[in-house]
Structure 1
Amino acid sequence: MGNRAPIHITIGGTLPREHLEVFAAHAADYDLRTEWDGEPFDAAALVAGEPLELYGTELNGGQIPAVDAFCCEHGLPFRRWSGGCLGAFMPEIVLYDGTGPLRDYTASEDEWVLFPPSWIKGFTRLRELKREMARAELTIPPFVLLRGARA
């Protein structure tokens, strides 16, 4: 059955409306909700001017690979926290800024990025550490549905 963990994902960016049905199907596959133990995701619940916040519980490995892949395919920035499973895996935060590779960090159970001592010891200057800490904080833009096809 695998180890299960919760997730919280914040998604932003612009998505052509014609792709919303596919996204909603992915959200339904993982039983993603608009709040912890709240209602299942429904596009009608989108709040104008805000990023999309979704929550899931009891997810295999604390992962939602189809949602991550969909966001990457469509250039949608996101921040996903996945809880840990004692003896199996640590909590993590995965960031995607809309381009480039995913960045992942060890996290706490209350969604804070953690820097292991080995990382910290690897920095030779305080400003290098501060720069990396800033990279680990991604501001997610509002989630916007575009009426027509994107050019």
Structure 2
Amino acid sequence: MANRASATIILGGTLSDADYRTLVDLIVGEGLSTEWCGPLFDAHHRTVGQPLFLCDHEVVGAQFEELERWCITHNIPFARWSGGYTGGWEAGRVVFDPAVGQPRSYTADEDNRVLIDLQTVTRLGSYTAILDHFRRANFTVPQLIVEGDPVPATISHALSPQEEPVR
């Protein structure tokens, strides 16, 4: 049996209707929900004008390999938090901002707070660089827009990893 842990992922960006259908299939294949212990994701569970928050308690390897690979290929920004697994891995966060390039990994705790150790502080070298490190780690995922969505009257605010729904 594979090692498992709790994990969340927040998705944003712009998709065609066809790509959204593919994304839904990937999400369902991962067994994800929009709420802890909630029903399996359905295409209608998305809130228009918001990023898409997904979660599960029993995620193999605490990552969504196929879903994340697809998002990277399609330039869909995301922030994933995963809990630790004793003897396997520590809790952490992975952020993919297409404007920056490849996904970046950050040490985090079980409450999805980014942590920094002395080695990283020394490597970064300045207070400004440390603040920039935290800014990148706390990337705010934009709303998920699907072709055909109604145009919002006001710009909706995105969820940052610190603003995830309560677990």
1:71-129 per-residue CA deviation (whole Å, 9 max, x = no partner) reads 11111110000111011100110000124100011110011111122101223321121
Corresponding residue for 2:58? 58
Shift of 1:135: 1.5
CA RMSD of aligned residues (A): 1.2
CA distance in 2, matches of 1:112, 1:31: 25
Q: Please give the residue correspondences for 1:110-121 in structure 2 after superposition, counting only pairs within 5 Å.
A: 110-121=111-122
CA deviations 1:7-27 (Å, max 9, x no partner) are: 111100001111222211211
Deviations 1:121-150 (A, max 9, x none): 223321121121212110111101014xxx
C-alpha displacement at 1:65, in angstroms?
0.5
TM-score (norm 1): 0.92
2:16 is matched with 16
Q: How does 1:79-94 map to 2 (within 5 A)?
A: 79-94=79-94
Q: Structure 1 CA distance, aligned partners of 2:80 and 2:48? A: 21
CA distance in 2, matches of 1:8, 1:89: 16
Aligned length, in residue pairs: 147
Determine what percentage of the aligned residue pairs are the same residue. 33
Give the TM-score taking structure 2 as reference length.
0.83
Uncovered stretches (5+) of structure 2, i.e. residues with no partner: 149-167
Equivalent residues in 2 for 1:62-81, closer than 5 Å:
62-81=62-81
List structure 1 segments (4+ residues) > 3 angstroms apart after TM superposition.
none
Which residue of structure 2 lines up, in the alignment, with residue 139 of structure 1?
Answer: 140
Structure 1 CA distance, aligned partners of 2:143 and 2:74? 15
User: CA contact under 8 A between 2:28 and 2:42: conserved in structure 1?
Assistant: no
Q: How far is the alpha carbon of 1:3 from its aligned partner?
A: 1.1
> Which residue in 2 is equivalent to 1:26?
26
Q: Match for 1:39: what amino acid?
A: P
Q: CA deviation at 1:54?
A: 0.4
**C-alpha separation between the residues in 1 aligned to 2:95 and 2:51?**
14
Pair 1:48 & 2:62 matched = no
Question: Could you say which structure has the greater relative contact order, defined with CA pairs below 8 angstroms and 6 or more residues apart?
Answer: 1
